[in-house]
Amino acid sequence: MSPAFPLHGSPVRHCQLYVREIVPYRIAHSWQRSLVAERRQNPNLEDVLILLEHPPIYTLGQGARSDFLKFDPAQSELEVIRIERGGEVTYHCPGQLVGYPILNLNYHQKDLHWYLRQLEEVLIQVLAAYGLKGERLAGLTGVWVDGRKVGAIGIKVSRWITMHGFSLNVCPDMEGFESIIPCGIADKPIGSLEQFIPGIELARVRQQVILAFAEVFGLQIVAEKVD
């Protein structure tokens, strides 16, 4: 899939990059909502990409089935929350790189299928940089390596402004995935890059994600905020 560039020959859009370490999910969620609200009010604001990790937590998409949890949420030591993204249940934890693009698709393409495929392409390009072949599976969203799902995608788009995004299992503790049916797919295992490349470093993968994201979406990364 070729990179996407702004329509009508307009200048390359800028994308503000925010890199954080471990951020509680609810704080990151509130931050996203604030950025989206600002862009609804002022559509001329630049795009944003947030890259971070979360403490252990389970999240369910807007219409996700609770029976994909293998435990009683009321008895869980970890928080379980339902949010407005698409998709089923997923697990976040340190070692998993999470990306939240806040893009105004009016400046890209107003096509949700296109947007999902572009997010997959970002992850596929990252995997290729490590010599791994990332694959799509017909009828499913995400990216697989050797039959193991390493990249998950769940989005919310309102007035063509995006939130939520993707996660890439770099070197997480995989135990948390055993308590759910991830993404509602019972017959395909979850994997991590560390299983294929022992010792892989999340910081280096993050840099590959930044490069691939800029190329695929035709964006210029203008700054990096590191706490």
The confidence band for 62, taking pLDDT boundaries of 50, 70 and 90, is confident
Give residue 184's pLDDT.
63
181: CB partners within 8 A, 6+ apart = 68, 70, 88, 89
Is residue 3 included in any domain, yes or no?
no
Is residue 182 included in any domain, yes or no?
yes
Q: For the whole model, what pTM was predicted?
A: 0.90
Q: Is the dihedral of CA 212, 155, 143, 78 positive or negative?
A: positive
Inform me whether the pLDDT recorded for 1 exceeds 60: no
Beta bridge partners of 142: none
Per DSSP, 64 falls in state -
Identify the top-confidence range among 77-81, 155-159, 183-187, 221-225. 155-159
Tell me which residue range forms the domain holding 105.
Answer: 12-226
Beta bridge partners of 149: 144, 190
- AA letter at 207: Q
Is residue 90 included in any domain, yes or no?
yes
Inform me whether the pLDDT recorded for 50 exceeds 90: yes
Is residue 5 included in any domain, yes or no?
no
Inform me whether the pLDDT recorded for 63 exceeds 60: yes
Is residue 139 included in any domain, yes or no?
yes
Residue corresponding to tokens 């096509």: 111
CATH code of the domain covering residue 219: 3.30.930.10
Is residue 168 included in any domain, yes or no?
yes
193: CB partners within 8 A, 6+ apart = 127, 130, 132, 145, 150, 168, 169, 170, 171, 200, 205
Radius of gyration of the chain (CA): 17
Which pair of structure tokens corresponds to residue 59? 């999240």
Is residue 6 included in any domain, yes or no?
no
Is residue 25 included in any domain, yes or no?
yes
Give residue 7's pLDDT.
44
Which pair of structure tokens corresponds to residue 169? 């299992």
Ramachandran category for residue 184: left, alpha or beta (phi over 0 → left; psi -120 to 50 → alpha): left
Give residue 224's pLDDT.
62
The confidence band for 103, taking pLDDT boundaries of 50, 70 and 90, is very high
Residues 94 and 111: their CA atoms lie apart, in Å, by: 32
pLDDT digits (tens, 9 = 90+) for 109-163: 999 999 999 999 999 999 999 999 999 999 989 999 999 999 999 999 999 999 9
Q: Is 15 a catalytic residue?
A: no
Q: Answer yes or no: are the C-beta atoms of 161 and 112 closer than 8 Å.
A: no
Average pLDDT, whole number, for the chain?
89
Q: Give percent of the chain above pLDDT 90.
A: 70
Inform me whether the pLDDT recorded for 216 exceeds 60: yes
Give residue 186's pLDDT.
62
How many domains does the chain fold into?
1
- Residue 83 has a CB neighbour count (10 Å cut-off) of 17
Give residue 61's pLDDT.
79
